[in-house]
Amino acid sequence: MPAQSPQYLTWHVLGTGAIGCLYAAYLRRAGCDVRLLLRDAPTLEQLQHRGGIELQLAHEKLSIAVPAEIASSSHEQIRQVLICTKAQQTLGAIRSIKMQLAPRPVLVLLQNGMGVREPLQQEIPDAVILHAISTEGAYQTQRFCVVHAGHGSTVLGAINRAEQPIAQNVAAALRCELQIDAVDDIAQRLWLKLAVNCVINPLTALHRCRNGELLQVPNIDSIIDALCREFVTVANAENQALTLEQCRAAIHAVIRDTAMNYSSMLQDRLAHRPTEIDFINGFIVQRAQQHALACPHHTELLAAIKAFDP
């Protein structure tokens, strides 16, 4: 068990996709007090029938019993929450446990997209909201069966600099076989991740292709360039000192390093699930409008994805 910051060793996990299950399993395996907050009784029964989270590692398969309860009927006081839901599900999920939240709860957002923080802070004004970005390779073969396909790393930080000491303690507490570090520049990292997601996710969903196959799309270089130029203009207007070269390099690095992967947005499209487009390209379009900036390429992608969103 991590020895640091014992007050941060009790966690509730919202969202039982691959990353939520991965973190819950590793935290439980390390001896932390972890509880899954589930949507409904059938989901709870599914977990109980399976006997816990099945974690597939390179050379072994583990079954890890993780306590769980239905979020809306939780009777515990909730102090720390790892939020791994889809961006569009976050407010509803938090509202389901709002009455159980302790004063000044710590909420860690580990999800794609931006634009959740502001309404979440309005909903829970005294919350400490931290942000995390992970490159852990994980996917689910079935509900509560997660394959840890590749070891990556996680960075965590506070937008509010006064809360950075809390971020450091939380990172130390969550460091349970998974590499996680506190960083001071989480805002810039979030924007750079958003640049990658604004290009790879909608384009792969639109063309129904793996990440690496994007490079075979006609005129892809000019498409990426146009999206990056608009993105950088909006980011700079938001006081984020990103450059065109930084965005291009990050996008091409992810395409190269995850060439065989299917983006989460493509997976959502193929499964006929709602996508996170409103919190990815939609966020950029909304911020562009606030600054009276032209953003035609992101607007076009937003409309194209929303056309097949259920």
Among this protein's residues, is 98 annotated catalytic? no
Q: Hey, is 33 helix, strand or coil?
A: strand
> Strand 53-56 relative to strand 61-64: parallel, antiparallel, unpaired?
antiparallel
Q: For the beta carbon of residue 175, count every other beta carbon within 10 angstroms.
A: 18
Q: Could you say which of 61, 86, 98, 193 is catalytic?
A: 193
Q: Hey, is 179 helix, strand or coil?
A: coil
Q: Across the beta sheet with 33-38, what order do the strands follow?
A: 68-70, 33-38, 10-14, 78-83, 101-109, 128-134, 154-158, 180-182
Q: Residues 102, 78: contact at Cβ < 8 Å?
A: yes
Q: For the beta carbon of residue 286, count every other beta carbon within 10 angstroms.
A: 16
Burial of 307 (0-12, 13-18, 19+ CB in 10 A): exposed
Beta bridge partners of 171: none
Q: Residues 97, 78: contact at Cβ < 8 Å?
A: yes
The tokens 């810039």 sit on which residue? 188
Give the DSSP H/E element, type plus range, for residue 34.
Answer: strand 33-38
Q: For the beta carbon of residue 73, count every other beta carbon within 10 angstroms.
A: 14
Give the DSSP H/E element, type plus range, for residue 5.
Answer: none
Q: Which residues are catalytic?
A: 193
